[in-house]
Amino acid sequence: MCKFEQAYITINQNQIPVLKDENNINWYPMKMFFERILFRPADIKSYRDSEFSKYMQVIEFIFNNEFSNKPTKTWFVNEKGLKIILKNINTGQKHKIRARIREQYLYEACLFFNIQRPDVRPKYKKQVTDLSEYDEWTKICLETDFEISEKTVWKRCNSCNKYFPNNKKYFNTKTLKNKQKVLRSTCKKCHNKNFKSTNPDIQKQYNIGGVELINSIKKRHYLKSFQILMEKSSSYVPPLFYDKNTLIQLIKYIKKEIIKNDKSKYNLKYISQFIKISPLKMSQIIGNDLKIGTLKSLETKRKNKNIISKTKIKLLCKKIFVNTISSNKINIPEIKPIIGIITQNGLHIICEEIKNIRYAKLYKFTNNLKEMEKIIKIIEKADKKNESKSN
């Protein structure tokens, strides 16, 4: 008589014995497996009277329980035969509730024995961690959905067999005869509708350049992102472009590939039509790291006589914003059309010297030395008039 080693396995919180023979083959009690693990009656006769019987044998076995310790002759099936049963058995559709329970039990048994059956999956799950079988856009939508939590119930789509959060974002609704609205059993994608991301920025990126643009921005491939946006003629500015180093590299690329040798176009006003960031905003981000003008290009070499020192600009700023406007010695309408623009250094010093910046919003700022000289002459002329009146 063959000797067996006894052990136990637990599937879906139900435990059954398993016997291992001298050839290391596992044998499972058929009736107990069907009733406890698969939640269905065991039709042993149909298996016994078919070719499947080669996987079966009767074993005299003592079931350790509180009712009896006597040996019992029972039909057992080996692991190879059990896997054949699991691969071919159906859940049945007559009773929906019972079929759903059986489907859950069968799914757990298939997982335990490592059997792949895409058609056998529970209708609902509490959590989905493996997103490898989803396409790129669906995966992005699920990963960025801030409403998904541990309490989220996932429902299986009857068409594609994939799981999605059981809500209107992933399933369409239908109206019953009693006018009650319920979610459909198939997902939106199987109805030829795309999912939408709850992140408006990511949704905008997808609408413009698809998954390619999203991935290029995510991986900080600023040049590829810029090229996609140029192809689509989009006015969208990714948050990545507001980074100082990224913006400088983009300006250098535009200078080399688009502007090339045309120095007259090397200014922030012209470049802004490609990057879609205003010249003033770009000048604030990059500071003085590039020799580039806001509205017109800077000459690479300047004569010393045309350079206004920081000290002179400092005095000029004080005169305009402290001595003139605040004390009304010169009317704003008189200065406004002439004042034009102050250099970026001047703007920086204004921010340091004049705490109240609201006056600065009256003017634009650029590099125009001739206008600066005119302003100085007007202020000096006005000061002389004021001095003669006081005398």
Long-range contacts formed by 197-204: CB under 8 A, 24+ apart:
197/140, 197/141, 197/144, 197/145, 198/141, 198/144, 198/145, 198/146, 198/147, 198/169, 199/144, 199/146, 201/239, 202/140, 202/144, 204/236
Q: Strands 181-187 and 154-156: what pairing?
A: unpaired
Residue entry with tokens 């005095």: 315
Token pair in block for residue 5: 């080693």
Regarding predicted confidence, which is higher, 41 or 327?
A: 41
96 band by pLDDT with thresholds 50, 70 and 90: low
pLDDT tens-digit readout, 148-160: 988 888 988 988 8
Does the predicted TM-score (pTM) go above 0.85?
no
193, pLDDT greater than 60: yes
Q: Which of 8-12, 119-123, 174-178, 282-286 has the lowest mean pLDDT?
A: 119-123
Compute the average pLDDT of residues 204-228: 93
For 228-286, what is each residue's pLDDT tens digit?
999 998 989 998 898 888 998 998 899 888 888 777 788 888 888 889 898 888 888 88
**pLDDT for residue 390:** 62
Mean per-residue pLDDT, 190-198: 91
pLDDT reported for residue 338:
38
Asked if 116 and 107 touch (Cβ cutoff 8 Å), the reply is no
Q: Return the higher-pLDDT residue of 321 and 381.
A: 381
How far is residue 94 CA from its own chain's centroid?
42
Confidence of residue 309 (pLDDT cuts 50, 70, 90): low
Beta strands 56-62; 71-78: pairing state = antiparallel
Model confidence at 364: pLDDT above 60: no
User: In the prediction, which pLDDT does 387 show?
Assistant: 66
Instruction: Judge whether residue 308 has pLDDT over 80.
Output: no
Give the Cα-Cα-Cα angle 160, 163, 164 (nearest 5 degrees): 110
Structure tokens at 280: 């003033």
126 or 35: which carries more pLDDT confidence?
35
pLDDT above 60 for 335: no
d(CA 86, CA 100): 16
Gap between the Cα atoms of 250 and 172, Å rounded: 43
Alpha helices in the chain (DSSP H): 30-32, 44-48, 79-88, 96-112, 136-143, 200-218, 222-231, 244-254, 268-275, 279-286, 310-318, 332-339, 344-353, 369-390
Average pLDDT over residues 196-210: 92
With bands split at pLDDT 50, 70 and 90, how would you rate the model's confidence at 128? confident
Average of pLDDT values for 49-64?
86
**DSSP at 293:** B
Distances in Å between the Cα of 3 and the Cα atoms of 25, 46, 80, 176 are 12, 28, 20, 61
Is 50 exceeded by the pLDDT of residue 214?
A: yes
The pLDDT of 351-368, averaged and rounded, is: 37
Q: What local confidence, expressed as pLDDT, does residue 4 receive?
A: 82
Quote the longest CA-to-CA distance of the chain: 133
pLDDT band for 353, please (50, 70, 90 cuts): very low
Looking at the DSSP bridge assignments, the partners of residue 26 are: 20
